[in-house]
Amino acid sequence: MMSKKLPVIDAAWTLFLDRDGVINYEKVEDYIHHWDEFRFYPKAPESIATLSNLFGKTIVVTNQKGIGKGVTVESDVRDIHTKMKAAIMQHGGKIDAVYYCPATDANDPCRKPNIGMAVQAKDEFGSVDFNRSIMVGNNPSDMQFGRRAGMITILLTTTRLADTVDEQLVDFVFSDLAAVAAAFTR
Distances in Å between the alpha carbon of 136 and those of 27, 36, 43, 78, 90?
A: 19, 24, 16, 21, 22
**Cα(25)–Cα(27) distance, rounded to whole angstroms?**
7
Active-site pick, 20, 142, 171, 176: 20
Rounded distance, CA 3 to CA 132, Å?
19
| C-alpha distance across the termini of the chain, in Å | 20
Neighbours of 7 (CB within 10 A): 12
**CA 93 to centroid of chain Cα atoms:** 15
Q: Is 18 assigned a catalytic role? A: yes
Catalytic residue (one of 18, 142, 171, 176) = 18
Instruction: Give the residue numbers annotated as catalytic, written as ranges.
Output: 18, 20
